[in-house]
Chains A and B, each alone.
Chain A
């Protein structure tokens, strides 16, 4: 995938040589290199060891918006990458999927936004725990970088900031 923004320790960077291929449907032959697969296809390709949660896999999973993130629970320790899709930037299901993966299921690896990924939603995605953004091909990733910051005040809570503002205010005694 090209046109990719990744967050890392040194901040955000644009990745020009990302090795992953997004396979939307089973096609023969599959591309070379690491593959991002729909859940059913991913499952079909894994060894019994991987499916039993006893081995790592090279294949990443792509979840469609109506897939249940909870289904990935047995394999999280061995997965290299999870991608969540925005079929349209107006479809917000992946924000909740991201919350569940990060906060409830404890996913620590890369969480990549794919699909209709645009500058004006990047800060929301980031708040919900995405750390990689495959910006839509026709939009410059350099421009999309400006969308990562967003608004500095978050009243409520998010994956990045699990405590609502009322627990973060200066002068608030946490041990109420």
Chain B
């Protein structure tokens, strides 16, 4: 894991002091709310329906057991004993007092954490996939470049007041688990035949009101030019992105308005001025950062473990969990484990209590190297577990309520906090998720359905990426009441696709039945073991619409 040096430490501590002063000036009315707003947003502080919400950065979703314990401490002492993991691999605390924020940030700084640029119109947390460094299908560990980008984008004076928020993701595996196509900049890292490290640069992805997948602006960019190329993109965006309408201010709108070729030309022209300048990365810097991500001291193990094999044979519940929640590892004898934060109606997706956080920290130390990842699906990953320990870990995770065997299945719902917390939301998300989870509580049925992602966003800002869900649910406002629009056919990864709306929206009570009908249609038309999204692609929307709207269920 990356560890702070004196520069990192100084920056974070000075930022805490600076923000403490800004809070104090707000409390004294020296700063108006309007003046304070962008300052607090740049430090992850939102004003929600009931209280302030603090979003703490978990750079590229990686944290240590000690950091997780600190998050537990904050949840217990400054919040209501829980936190919420987000789709950007961060954590949010929902019940924060403004007066306590300085103390919280100071506590976080002690374990090398902060809330810098987790919101606001600036470069946000750099994300990658939760299995970076350990996935069997990975070409290269993307985290050294993610960390280099994190540093470069942190308090970068030219780019703190962009037209709109700016999200960058980087990935380097066969499967794109970082959803790079829906980012303002999506970077794909690979090697050419000569072994040179190259980047494919995609720009202009994003969800929200105008969902668009990113388009390629550059192929085969040598990695040393990463910073100058991103700088060129940001400068073009900062100068020319729209500022007259918040809903048209993301870079995707600029790319669309200019056309990707013209946009790419602008970027190339800007880049020509800076590409061979001091922003060019050095091998020494790459090696310095990469050393922090060197693999831990793995034991030399057989890839098969007798005890594990017999536990699988003996215990179908364990085998089911392994089938869904355990991922292949690049080192023989090891696996990566996904702890599901979606136990069903008992807890909202992504919510984890302080006791669970402490339990996770303990599991990471006992069965791993003390490292933890947050997946953008809002689950928690233990990246390095010996296969021989999986059974014991499963039992302990079960006691903690973190062993739901549903990763990638319909109840592994991705949901934003929705109208229960968020002042932007049109509608609630959590009760909808819970009602669906209740309806699909039967595990055999759930497993028979296979891979099926379901995403619920409480408004057009699309924090839960509903466009990319195989089934997407979007909260909409109709004359002051809460309605839900349903899309199907969305997908993430390299075959990313945006879901299509099936028809008029529904009220909350109808949703479980609508989902059931969608699923029944799928089962009626499914060929072999094909996943839901393939059936949708094969047969189109009509059979689904027909079944869902068959009776007089459609609201007028």
Question: Chain A: residues with CB nearer than 8 A to chain B?
Answer: 89-93, 95-97, 99, 104, 118, 120-121, 123-125, 127-128, 143, 150-158, 162-167, 169, 172-173, 176
Contact = CB atoms under 8 A, between A and B. Distances in A.
A91 B14 contact: no
B154 A155 contact: yes
Interface in B12-33: 14-15, 18, 22, 30-31
B153 interface: yes
Contact of A167 (B153, B273, B278, B288): B278
Contacts of B39: 120
B227 A164 contact: yes
Interface residue SS majority, chain B? helix
Q: How large is the interface on B (under 10, 10 to 19, 20 to 34, 35 or more residues)?
A: 35 or more
A76 B153 CA distance: 31
Interface stretch (B74-82, B96-104, B235-243): B235-243
B510 interface: no
A48 B155 CA distance: 44
The 7 residue pairs across chains A and B that have the minimum distance between CB atoms? A92-B161, A127-B157, A124-B157, A166-B285, A153-B11, A155-B151, A163-B278
B304 to A, nearest CB: 44
A52 B154 CA distance: 43
A153 B152 contact: no
B18 A95 contact: no
B278 A128 contact: no
Contacts of B273: 104
B284 A99 contact: no
Contacts of A123: 157
A151 B284 contact: no
Contacts of B153: 156
Nearest to B285: A166
Nearest to B241: A93
Nearest to B18: A151
11 contacts: A89-B38, A90-B161, A92-B158, A95-B157, A95-B159, A95-B160, A96-B239, A120-B35, A152-B11, A155-B7, A156-B156
A93 B240 CA distance: 8
B38 A151 contact: no
Given A90-B38, A155-B151, A155-B152, A128 B10 contact: no
A158 B157 CA distance: 7
A15 B151 CA distance: 36
A39 B170 CA distance: 42
B283 interface: yes
B355 interface: no
B146 to A, nearest CB: 14
Contacts of A176: 282-284
B112 to A, nearest CB: 14
B126 interface: no
Contacts of A118: 35
A156 B282 contact: no
A92 B278 contact: no
B459 to A, nearest CB: 22
Contacts of B38: 89-90
Contact of A158 (B158, B161, B283): B158
A164 B230 CA distance: 14
A104 B522 CA distance: 59
Interface string B230-256: 000001001100010000000000000
Given A99-B158, A125-B157, A166-B148, 18 more contacts: A90-B161, A93-B238, A95-B158, A95-B159, A96-B238, A121-B161, A151-B18, A152-B14, A155-B154, A156-B153, A156-B279, A162-B278, A164-B152, A164-B227, A165-B7, A165-B151, A167-B278, A172-B284
Contacts of B284: 166, 172-173, 176
